[in-house]
Amino acid sequence: MATGQLFSRTTQALFYNYKQLPIQRMLDFDFLCGRETPSVAGIINPGSEGFQKLFFGQEEIAIPVHSTVEAACAAHPTADVFINFASYRSAAASSMTALKQPTIRVAAIIAEGVPEADTKQLIAYARANNKVLIGPATVGGIQAGAFKIGDTAGTIDNVIQCKLYRPGSVGFVSKSGGMSNEMYNTIARVTDGVYEGIAIGGDVFPGSTLSDHVVRFNSIPQVKMMVVLGELGGRDEYSLIEALKQGKINKPVVAWVSGTCARLFKSEVQFGHAGAKSGGEMESAQAKNQALRDAGAIVPTSYEAFEVSIKETFDKIAQEGKITPVKEVTPPQIPEDLNTAIKSGKVRAPTHIISTISDDRGEEPCYGGVPMSSIVERGYGVGDVISLLWFKRSLPRYCTQFIEICIMLCADHGPCVSGAHNTIVTARAGKDLVSSLVSGLLTIGPRFGGAIDDAARYFKDAFDKSLTPYEFVESMKKKGIRVPGIGHRIKRGDNRDKRVELLQKFARTHFPAVKYMEYAVQVENYTLSKANNLVLNVDGAIGSLFLDLLAGSGMFTKPEIDEIIEIGYLNGLFVLARSIGLIGHTFDQKRLKQPLYRHPWEDVLYTK
């Protein structure tokens, strides 16, 4: 069990199993306390990735969503608290996964009913590895003015009423989450407030004990006294009694064990928690209260007198000069959400779009965080703008030059290809520029201009698997798939595509490495042995060379490269380039005032 303070104003957590309300309550608490950064660094939702939009005060923020615990921990190495809102069926497995991550220091399990055998394994692992486990069956914990777990302390109104937005001098620990909310209010009424509060959970085997936290509180200088609320059942309180007897605790402890009414019933009584069932005289509330009293704790005669005992103890240490007066602050007002603020007129509406590539707020637009004026002053070209808007980073000059060369070489390929033909027919039908452009763009696909992504995908897969050209081509043949990027309607082995030669020459001169391109050339050599028209075409050249650009620049991780290919970035380059030519064909037809196109009969085979 760790010693000293668990949380601070910079503590961040990973939240497992997305629940909007408790996360929003955590973020509202952050804002109330004046934290600079949200306490929720990331959300783990198995099977999902992306972002969740929530509010941090008046500002809407996007919190990353990860599909696995491992991915979240890798993405947020400073987040050392794991808050688990999984059901009792999966809470143990996900919590164990989290505890095994080196970045996780504290785990809180909210679910009740976690199998006891699983809980024991979690407890053993946490103790063996000096990690803190709070729960199962807990509402969590809170450090006033710094950090809170999930729904701890309830609504923001209750947080403010209990003055939990700033630290006090009392360390509080309880088994019950519901009674914790009540006790935060009680403590705030008769002392300067709570410094840290923990609900260890009501299951039979809590991950950490009352004594664990009281001993920990004892070593925190800001904590001047401790308040403990136990309950009948189990023997957890006796570890605290032993700690008191052994002198491990030298600060005042005010304690009460609930459940004294159990003796009024003739049969054994099971209260709300799984662990709240007396299993004998030693586990009765009366026996525990007396043992705590004998060990030196301040124990009232009833729960009703608990508040008085807390007040008297606090007043005494205050008179002794051990309490530094707390400077009262006025917390900021939390904006009301739309569904609760319509009547009062105080609203905040969520956004409907997330954008990470550009920002038109402020004095001038920014592309990828670079102001427009800087783009002009630095002499950036179209390739640089594409690198900012598509790849969200400034790529080296040879990369952006290559992009520009691709655009120039792919801008047009004459009026006879399908895209240009469609655009020409549409323009001659009197349609506007956008309609004419779109009619041409809609022909782009697997058979026309859309093979760049597929070429990159298949070449990369084959090269990374160390397949020989023979193995690659023959495996594609067995699948009934033509090799994307290989083959041309006109070009032959003795009449290569000039565009391919220009791209290869540039890459060999400027790229750090061209391993994928060389592999594509080896594949071409093999396919040419089969047929003279199975040459590397411009799609294959761009696809393989873009792999070399992404891998050789050192600016992209392997998952990023895979995502770029999967999303369709490379086909996007062809779409952008060919749009230039299609727009040109539209203007050309309109300038020439060409009439409506009708295909000649003699060019049609009429048959039954």
Distance in Å from the first CA to the final CA of the chain = 85
Burial (0-12, 13-18, 19+ Cβ within 10 Å), 222: middle
Distance, in Å, from the CA atom of 107 to the CA atom of 99, rounded to the nearest integer, reads 7
- Give the number of other Cβ atoms within 10 Å of residue 68's Cβ: 15
Angle at 136 between CA 131 and CA 140, to 5 degrees: 75
Angstrom distance (rounded) from CA 567 to CA 257: 60
**Which of 273, 488, 510, 585 is labelled catalytic?**
273
- Give the alpha-carbon dihedral of 73, 76, 80, 85, to 10 degrees: -70
Nearest partner of 536 among 499, 481, 584, judged by Cα: 499
Give, for 367, the enclosing helix (H) or strand (E): strand 366-367
Residue 544 contacts residue 520 (beta carbons within 8 Å):
yes
Strands 40-44 and 13-16: parallel
* 96, 153 contact by CB (below 8 A): no
User: Which residue in the block uniquely carries the two structure tokens 């997330």?
Assistant: 354
* Distance of alpha carbon 109 from the chain centroid: 19
d(CA 319, CA 325): 11
Cβ burial of 590 (10 Å; 0-12, 13-18, 19+) is middle
> CA-to-CA distance for 544 and 504, rounded, in angstroms?
10
Q: List the one residue out of 455, 460, 461 whose CA is nearest residue 484.
A: 455
Q: Please report, for residues 29, 154, 389, the alpha-carbon distance to residue 393 in angstroms, rounded to integers and kept in the order given.
A: 35, 43, 8
Tell me whether strands 81-84 and 106-109 are parallel, antiparallel or unpaired: parallel
Active site residue 273: yes
Beta strands in 57-164 (DSSP E): 59-66, 81-84, 106-109, 132-134, 140-143, 147-148
Chain center to CA of 194: 31
Catalytic site positions: 273
